[in-house]
Amino acid sequence: MSGLNLDDFATLIERPDPGVRREAEEHRERLVPRPGALGRLDELGEWLAAAQGQVPVKPVERPRAILFAGDHGVASLGVSGGPEAGAYDLVRATLDGGSTAAVLARRFGAGLRVVDMSLDCDPELLPKEVTRHRVRRGSGRIDIEDALTAEEAEQAFRAGMAIADEEADSGTDLVVLGDLSVGGTTAAGTLIGALCGTDASVVTGRGGAGIDDLAWMRKCAAIRDALRRARPVLGDQLQLLAATGGADLTAITGFLLQSAVRRTPVILDGVVSAACALVAQRIAFRAPDWWLVGQSGGEPAQAKALDRLALNPLLDQGVTVGEATGALLALPLVQAAAALAAELPERS
């Protein structure tokens, strides 16, 4: 891929400041209530302090939910329970304020941004700020062909990086990451299966919209065939994304890595963001230190990826809808941890 050296990320990404984290731990020991009484909230507050590079931690005041949208050709096989019209319906509902992500973002004071990477619809149907990064109309059918050309993969990856820079420059202090896709969990299962060396059946779930047994078997077969195409290119992460990821997943991977470069903490959502995080980890091993996981979505591939990433979900509410819902549900928890770490008085 001309002009894009993924090896640079391993050098550019540093871990959240360990010295600041130790200082945050010492600060917590002086506060009421007693150390340990707040459970995982203490850990979250210390993680945020290290990410921000200061003690006491600043409140999370400018969170932003970012949803990357795309359609996947593999959905034509009947592997998804998503809307027949494609991900456009999901995007339209979000922009109109009627999706779970829109409701929760509004309730929790988070900005909301939708990025069309590969929707299979006329771009004129959506605002220009949504479509300006679009790479193509729908990603290829990954069981028989590449999702993207090499040039499209680089374009999508760079778009994700550019969006990360835009958010960092605008003052976003925490990103809630999600996707709006139809067929995206099939691509995610393929990436995770390839990177974890597992069979298709181990990483085939029922998706955010839920599918019946016959659709599950079709999805398993699609992932099996896509895995055959993914394994020969495992040594090149951008080529892997081009072969079996798609424009939205490729952009998310670039976004995650550049957010880590810019020291912007991110809450991951479901199996799609977990798959992208796993690819990003292969590129820069320190990158996962900048991420939290909102909730367990019940997808076997997500559990496999999170085990490899050594990340534990903050919540487990049985929510399978996707669309950053699980990550948004965890946002108040992270905000509470920051507020407590910043505002609790010291013991007298």
Q: State pLDDT tens for residues 17-42.
A: 999 999 999 999 999 999 899 999 99
**Please, are residues 219 and 184 in contact by the beta-carbon 8 Å criterion?**
no
Would you say residue 106 has pLDDT above 70? yes
Average pLDDT, the chain: 96
Structure tokens, 242 = 């081009």
Q: At what angle do helices 18-29 and 40-52 cross, to 10 degrees?
A: 140
CB 259 within 8 A of CB 292: no
Is residue 208's pLDDT more than 70? no
Report the distance separating Cα 78 and Cα 215, nearest Å.
6
Residue 331 has pLDDT above 70, yes or no: yes
> What pLDDT does 345 receive?
95
The string of DSSP letters for 278-335 reads HHHHHH-TTGGGGEEEEE--S-HHHHHHHHHHT--EEE-------TTHHHHHHHHHHH
pLDDT value of residue 206: 86
Give dist(CA 331, CA 109) in Å, integer: 10
Cα(36)–Cα(46) distance, integer angstroms: 12
Q: Which of 211, 198, 334 is nearest to 275 (CA)?
A: 198
The alpha carbon of 151 is separated from its chain's Cα centroid by a whole number of angstroms, namely 23
* Residue showing tokens 């230190």: 289
The single residue listed with the structure tokens 């065939």 is: 225
Considering the entire predicted model, what is its pTM? 0.97
Strands 291-295 and 313-315: parallel
Q: What percent of the chain has pLDDT over 90?
A: 93
Strand order, beta sheet including 63-71: 111-118, 63-71, 174-182, 266-268, 291-295, 313-315
Q: Please determine, for residue 1, whether its predicted confidence score (pLDDT) is greater than 50.
A: no
Average the pLDDT over 247-275 and give the result: 98
Average pLDDT over residues 260-268: 98
Distance of alpha carbon 245 from the chain centroid: 13
For range 129-140, the mean pLDDT = 98
Q: How confident is the model at residue 203 (pLDDT cuts 50, 70, 90)?
A: very high
CATH number of 63-330: 3.40.50.10210
Q: Which of 285, 316, 290 is nearest to 303 (CA)?
A: 316
Q: Are 28 and 56 in contact (CB under 8 A)?
A: no
Would you state the pLDDT for residue 310? 97
Query: Is residue 131 predicted with pLDDT exceeding 70?
Result: yes
CA-to-CA distance for 249 and 191, rounded, in angstroms? 10
- Tell me the H-state helices in 231-262: 237-244, 247-261
- Catalytically active residues are 323
